[in-house]
Amino acid sequence: MSLEALPAWLLPVWQDLRSRQGRLAHALLLTGPHGSGKRLFAEHFARSLLCQSPDEKGFACGHCPDCTWMASGNHPDFFCIVPAADEAETEEASEAGESTKKEKAKSTQIVIDQVRSLQASLEIGAGGHAGGWRVVIVDPAEAMNVAAANALLKALEEPSGNTLYLMLSNAPRRLLATIRSRCQVVTFPRPGKEPAFAWLDAQGIKNKALLGFASSLPMAAREYASGPLAEARSKLAADLAALPVKDPLRLAAEWETRLKAKGAAEAGLNMAVFIDWLERWLSDGVWVAMGQHARFFADFEDALAAQARGRSEAWLAAYRDVQERRPIALHPLNLRLFLEDLLVGVFRRLAVR
């Protein structure tokens, strides 16, 4: 499988790392929010180190035996450690039994057995198959449970000269401080608007408002655009835009159905997401009421303006109400009652008197 090209805004990070290649630490901590391109970058970097004849920018040639092994997922010097749930996603997709669900809940962690089997493989193949690099990706590093993290820490404390660990993290503060301190940190930037829009254009993504919705991370915007969440987002925005003329109780019933629908949770649609989106909608309303642009729902700015203009206080109050209810949102005793309470509350705040 050939890798997609590295987006332009990550090239400076690439060049910087390439220029330090002779003096790299044996562990790099790649940090940045989800969707900032860390994994793609790490895979390019791994391929670059393992390739026999990289091009002048350092990218793997794609043709040599090492590149061929990488492409088929069988390179003996490349290791990728991810939570078992991520690994088994496709196998488990066909089953939906209770036991499978429990299994999945457990395996969102990286466990010690995975680290031990990595260490065994590294020992057996000591030196790399051709005396070259060996590269280990851990993604995300914060998924390691304490035992796994401690086992990996040992490996970092006694590095072997040619093994490079690429630790990926959305939340580096959740890592053991002792692990963090052994890593060279590489921070992933958010691109400016122009390169981001250009990239989305090249990907054929028309709804540019998704960029703001994805906090200016184009790759996260693409994930929205290609997944089922984009439709849910538009539906919610349309419903909220119609809230003044729609019965909030009916909306609550409709969203209860959607949230409980088969496949909704797997697609990433849950109460935490719902309340997050509702908060974004209301904060956009506050912005628009104050004469600013909508940040998350730019494609609904007109509808927001029609409702919110001159009413920033009411929208701010609604926003605060929703924020207060956030802790309950994750574990509502009764989803329907919670949604009704939430939406009726918002409706009352926003109702034009």
Q: Which residues bind Zn ion (CB under 5 A)?
A: 51, 60-61, 64, 67
Cβ closest to Zn ion, residue 67 vs residue 210 = 67
φ, ψ dihedrals at 193, nearest 5°: -60, -45
Report the nearest approach of Zn ion to the CB of residue 65 (Å).
8
Cβ closest to Zn ion, residue 69 vs residue 197 = 69
Tell me whether residue 257 is exposed, middle or buried, using C-beta atoms within 10 angstroms of its C-beta: 0 to 12, 13 to 18, 19 or more.
Answer: exposed
Cβ closest to Zn ion, residue 68 vs residue 334 = 68
d(CA 184, CA 267): 35
Cβ closest to Zn ion, residue 75 vs residue 349 = 75
Q: Which residues contact 75 (CB under 8 A, 6 or more apart)?
A: 50, 66, 69
Cβ closest to Zn ion, residue 37 vs residue 54 = 54
Report the nearest approach of Zn ion to the CB of residue 98 (Å).
46
Q: Residues 297, 307: contact at Cβ < 8 Å?
A: no
d(CA 312, CA 135): 53
d(CA 259, CA 330): 13
Q: Residues 110, 13: contact at Cβ < 8 Å?
A: no
Report the nearest approach of Zn ion to the CB of residue 46 (Å).
12
The alpha carbons of the chain give a radius of gyration, in whole angstroms, of: 24
Query: Which pair of structure tokens corresponds to residue 195?
Result: 């390169």
- Amino acid symbol at 326: R
Report the nearest approach of Zn ion to the CB of residue 177 (Å).
37
Coil, helix or strand for 123? helix
CA atoms within 13 Å, Cβ hemisphere of 302: 1
Q: Residues 81, 107: contact at Cβ < 8 Å?
A: no
Cβ closest to Zn ion, residue 48 vs residue 307 = 48
Cβ closest to Zn ion, residue 60 vs residue 155 = 60
Report the nearest approach of Zn ion to the CB of residue 26 (Å).
23
Report the nearest approach of Zn ion to the CB of residue 68 (Å).
8
Report the nearest approach of Zn ion to the CB of residue 76 (Å).
15
Cβ closest to Zn ion, residue 51 vs residue 138 = 51
Q: Residues 323, 276: contact at Cβ < 8 Å?
A: no
Report the nearest approach of Zn ion to the CB of residue 50 (Å).
8
Query: Which pair of structure tokens corresponds to residue 272?
Result: 């935490």
